A = this chain, B = another copy of it.
């Protein structure tokens, strides 16, 4: 599917999640209370409005718990959900469904929470700038969270430290802007070089250094406009630093290319999704 994270990442994280939830004895409640041959149909249902994500991980959970379970999806990642929307279904052994339920929902609710929050930012930007995620992801969840950001209409910033150069204040201390950009270009000649600037003075220096992208950190919309004017024809612009749903619109109107929002992945409210089981 379009928004699926890499399969091997999903497999590994689901293994981890099932290991911690099944423990040594497995689902002792179902073992005691559910007949071994009881079968059921279950449906994932949205309990509130939002955007769907995480179906690949949820499906993998049931596959690992019991490969004879039948999982099907009525909606795919990126779909808009209303309260009551039927998202997908699982059919098979009731014990197996109950065994995987919580972990599958944990993935689905978290990923859909990321996608829903992303879409809110995207809408608040009114198409004037692209919304980017950051590296402020939950450890181990980066691929899955970044797929959810895409499902919500956002775009992905660097995937890792290995992917693009991003020069921040700590990298500048010894070298200064011109030298730092030059060194980065020399060492990694075929990579995006992005430079963080905190002041208009730095932006003026950046104009000479010609990075591919300038990240404006914690500036006011007015200063962002000035910076964009300075950088026109030289570098694309990313706005960053505690952007909120309230402020994102004003920043988007400045003409910036990108707005990056750490909260998309570090401060997520789970979307309420349930699993209705017909015993």
**A residues apposed to B, CB below 8 Å:** 1-2, 4-9, 12-36, 38, 57, 64-66, 94, 98-99, 102-103, 105-107, 109-110, 113, 130, 132, 135-143, 146, 155-157, 159-168, 170-175, 180, 183-184, 186-192, 213, 236, 238, 257-258, 262-263, 266-270, 277, 279
Contact = CB atoms under 8 A, between A and B. Distances in A.
B65 A29 contact: no
Contacts of A94: 170
A188 B6 contact: no
A113 B138 CA distance: 12
Nearest to A179: B33
A164 B8 CA distance: 20
Contact of A163 (B162, B184, B186): B162
Given A31-B2, A173-B279, A269-B267, A106 B187 contact: no
B29 A167 contact: yes
Given A26-B162, A98-B170, 10 more contacts: A5-B26, A6-B162, A9-B24, A16-B16, A20-B140, A23-B161, A26-B143, A28-B191, A32-B183, A190-B238
A206 B29 CA distance: 17
A206 B87 CA distance: 34
Which 8 pairs of residues, A with B, have the shortest CB-CB distance?
A: A23-B162, A17-B139, A173-B279, A24-B159, A6-B22, A23-B160, A25-B162, A266-B270
The oligomer's copy count stands at: 6
A17 B140 contact: yes
B270 A270 contact: no
A161 B24 contact: no
Contact of A106 (B30, B188, B266): B266
Given A20-B140, A138-B141, A170 B279 contact: yes
Given A160-B20, A170-B98, A29 B165 contact: yes
B31 A136 contact: no
B279 A166 contact: no
B140 A33 contact: no
A87 B231 CA distance: 39
A140 B17 CA distance: 5
Nearest to A162: B23
12 contacts: A16-B139, A23-B163, A24-B146, A27-B161, A28-B161, A28-B162, A32-B180, A33-B172, A113-B267, A190-B192, A190-B257, A267-B270
A257 B189 CA distance: 9
B135 A110 contact: no
Contacts of A156: 25, 188
A122 to B, nearest CB: 13
A250 to B, nearest CB: 21
